[in-house]
Structure 1
Amino acid sequence: MNRRTFLKRSIGSLLTFLGLSGGTYYYAHDIEPGMLDINHVNLASGKIPEAFHDFKMVQFSDTHIGYHYTIEQFSELVSTINAQNPDLILFTGDLVDEPHTYQWDNEIIQLLRHLNARYGKYWIYGNHDHGGYGTDIVKNVMDKAEFNLLQNDYTTIEIDNQQITLAGIDDVMLGKPNLESTLSNANPELYTLLLAHEPDYADNTVHFPVDVQLSGHSHGGQVRLPLIGHLYTPLYAHKYVQGKHTFQNSKLTLFVNRGIGTTRLPYRFLCKPEIHTFTLKAGGTT
C-alpha cells in the first residue's frame, strides 16, 4: 500500500467512523441498502443484427443473500427484474454470502425460477460462490432454478437466423478463468458479450474479440465519501470500481455493476445498489 492510498483510507475510515456514529449510521445501515437504482443503458453497434434491435438484457449481481440481505428483499428484486420485461437475464455472481453456512431451502430456488426471460437466464461464478465449499451447492441451486452456467464457455443467442455471442469465464480469485479457450470456437465476427465477475479482468479481455464485458464484485466500494470516493474494494476491483469504462485502442466497453447486497460491512453510503438494463441497438457505435 503506497502512502497516498494509506492516507486516503485512514482519513476516509476516520470520517466514516465519525459519520456513521451519528445520524448517518441509520441511513447507511437501514435506508440506502434498500434504495435500488435501475440503470438503463443503450448498447449500439454495427455488429448488432437487426433482429436484436431493442433486445433487452437485465444484469444483477452480488446479492449476498444471508448477510443483511433477506429472502424477502430478494423476492422484491425478482418482481422488479421481471417488471423490466427482459429478453435475457444475466447474473454475474455471489448469490449468497457464505454458501457453507447458509440455510438452503427450496424458497430461493423458487424465486430464482420465477425470473422470466424469453431467451434464457445465464450466470457465472463469483468468488463467494466458490468459497466455503460452495461450488457444487450453488450450481445445484442454479440448475434447479433453470439458470445456465457459463464457466469458461459460450453460447449463441439466435433470432431469425441472426446471432450474438454470450460468453462467461470462471471466477478469477478462486476459479480457473481461461478466456482463450472460452472463445476458441466462437465466431469473432459476432457481437460478443462477456460475463466476468471481477472487473479488473478487462485488462486481459482487451486482447480478445469482445465488445462488452459485464462485471460486479466491487460493490462500487459500498461506502463513498465526497472528494475521497470509495474507501475499499476487493482484489481485482481496484482499477474499475463502478460505471462505464472504455479502453484506448480497443473496442471493448466495460460496465461495472454496484451489486445488490453488502459484504464485510452492512453499509452503503452514496453508493446505492443497482441493476443494469441493457438495450441493444442495431447500427451506430457503443
Structure 2
Amino acid sequence: MEAITNGLILLMLSIGHAELWIMVINRTHAQPIHEAWLKRFRHVAELLIVLFPIVLFLSVGLSTPGVLVGGDWSQLPFWWKPVLLVSALGFMGLLCSGFRHLFYKPPRQQTEHQSELIHMRQRLNQDLIGEGPYHYLAGLPFNEIFSVEFTRKTFVLDRLPAEWEGLTILHLSDLHFSGTLKREYFVELCRVAQETEPDLIIFAGDLLDEMKCLDWLDDTLGIFKAPLGQYFILGNHDWNQQSDQIRQSLIDRGWTDIAAQTLRLEHVGHAMQIAGTEVPWMGTHPEILRSEMSETVSDFLLLVSHTPDNFHWATREGYDLMLSGHTHGGQVRFPLIGPVFAPSRHGTRYASGTFARGSTLLHVSRGVSGIHPLRWFCRPEISLLTLRTTNTEDR
C-alpha cells in the first residue's frame, strides 16, 4: 500500500513538472519569436517532459531513496528537494487551472448562448484531408476538427446606443490555410457564415500557414459582404509568412485593414470606433480618436486583437468590446482539467469564451483551424454576436 501511495506521489510530481514546462511553452509562444525558434524550443521542452518521469521513477523510486521498494523519503538527496518542491507547485497550479475551468461562468453581459454543429464531412460528403503539414493528425480517432460549432451569443452592453439594438457581428478567427484541410472545407464554412447576413464582419488574424493557399481568398473571405463593412487584422502565423502580401490581398478583396489604427464608423446617428492591434508581433497599439468624441456622448469602442493578452490594456483604454482568437481554446481539452496548451501570457485563463473586466467585454473565439489539425473536446468555432442595450428577459 505504501508503495502505491509513493507511486501516486511520483506520478503527481511528474505531472507537476510537465505543467511547469507547459507554462513556459505557453508564455514563450506569446512572445514575438519566429516559429522556427519556437519549434526548436518546444521540442527540447517536450523531451524534458518525457525524460523527467523516467529519471524520477528510476532514481527516487527504485534507487535512492527507493520509495517504491521500501525506502524512506527522509533519505532523499538534498539536490532533489528543490526540484520536487517546484514540481509540487506545478501540480498545484494545474489543479487551480482545472478548478477555474470547471467553475467558469460567462459574465452577466452574456445573456444568451445557442449553438449548432456543422458536420463538414457529412455535409460535403467527401474526404477533406489534404497533403499539408501534420495531415496525419486530422485522421486520428475522435478528432473533432470537422465538426464546427456555430455559436450565437447575445451581449448586453451598457454603452450601446439604443438605435443599435440587435446589431450583429460575425466573428471569425484562425483559418490557417495550409492545404492540410482542403479548400472546400473553408469555402463551405464561409458560405454558411455569409448566409447569416451580419451587420459587421471581423476577422481576428492567422489566415495563412502556406503562401501557396493565398488564392483561396477568392471563394472564402472574398465572398463576405456586410452593410457596415468587413475589417481584419493579421496574426502571428501571418507574421511568419509574407504579411505584406497577405494584407494587400485582403484589401484587394474588399476588406478594411485596421491594424495599429482606428476608424470611425457612423451608423444610425451614432459613431463606433473600430480599432485593431497586432501587438506583440507587428505594429503598435491604436490610439482612440478622443478629439472626435462628443463631450456628452462617447463613441462605442470596438477593439480587435489577435491575442487576448491585450485585454488588460484594452480595459485601461476603456474599450467596450474586444474580439480575439489565437489560443484555439487549447485545441485539446482534458476532462475535468480543461485546456492545457494556450499560447498566452495568462496561460489558459483566456483560452476561449467571454470575459469581463472593468467596462470591457472580451470574446475569445476557438478559431476555425490550426497548423496542427487536432481538436479533442474543443470544436472549431465561428460566432455570430448580437449586441443589445437591454436584457430580452426584462422586456
User: Shorter-normalised TM-score: what interval?
Assistant: 0.7 to 0.9
What TM-score, normalized by structure 1, do the two folds share? Answer: 0.83
Question: Which one of 238, 243, 258 corresponds to residue 135 of structure 1?
Answer: 243
User: Where does structure 1 lack aligned partners over 5 or more consecutive residues?
Assistant: 15-23
Report how far residue 164 of structure 1 moved. Answer: 2.0
CA distance in 2, matches of 1:257, 1:185: 32
**Residue correspondence of structure 1 range 27-46 to structure 2 within 5 A:** 27-28=142-143, 32-46=144-158
Please state whether the residue corresponding to 1:279 is helix, strand or coil: strand
Please state whether the residue corresponding to 1:232 is helix, strand or coil: coil
Q: 1:109 to 1:141 in 2, by over 3 A?
A: farther
Q: C-alpha offsets along residues 200-240 of structure 1, whole Å, 9 cap, x if unaligned?
A: 11122111120111100000010111122212112446231
What is aligned with 1:17?
Answer: none
* Residue 278, structure 1, aligned to residue 385, structure 2: yes
* Residue 148, structure 1, aligned to residue 256, structure 2: yes
Is contact 2:259–2:283 with CA below 8 Å preserved after alignment? no
CA distance in 1, matches of 2:279, 2:15: 27
What is aligned with 2:365?
Answer: 257
Aligned length: 262
What is aligned with 1:65?
Answer: 177
Question: Which one of 316, 319, 326 corresponds to residue 207 of structure 1?
Answer: 316
**Residue correspondence of structure 1 range 106-145 to structure 2 within 5 A:** 107-132=216-241, 134-145=242-253
What is aligned with 1:187?
Answer: 293
Which structure has the larger Rg over C-alpha atoms?
2
Q: Which has the higher helix share?
A: 2
Q: C-alpha offsets along residues 118-165 of structure 1, whole Å, 9 cap, x if unaligned?
A: 111000111111213x21111121012100000111223322322222
Which segment is superposed worse, 42-51 or 209-218?
42-51
Code of the aligned partner of 1:35: S
What is aligned with 2:272?
Answer: 164
Code of the aligned partner of 1:121: Q
Code of the aligned partner of 1:66: S
Q: C-alpha offsets along residues 77-126 of structure 1, whole Å, 9 cap, x if unaligned?
A: 11111121101110000111233xx3433x42343221121111000111
What TM-score, normalized by structure 2, do the two folds share? Answer: 0.61
Q: 1:256 to 1:103 in 2, by over 3 A?
A: closer
Is contact 2:165–2:387 with CA below 8 Å preserved after alignment? yes
Code of the aligned partner of 1:229: G
CA distance in 2, matches of 1:192, 1:253: 11
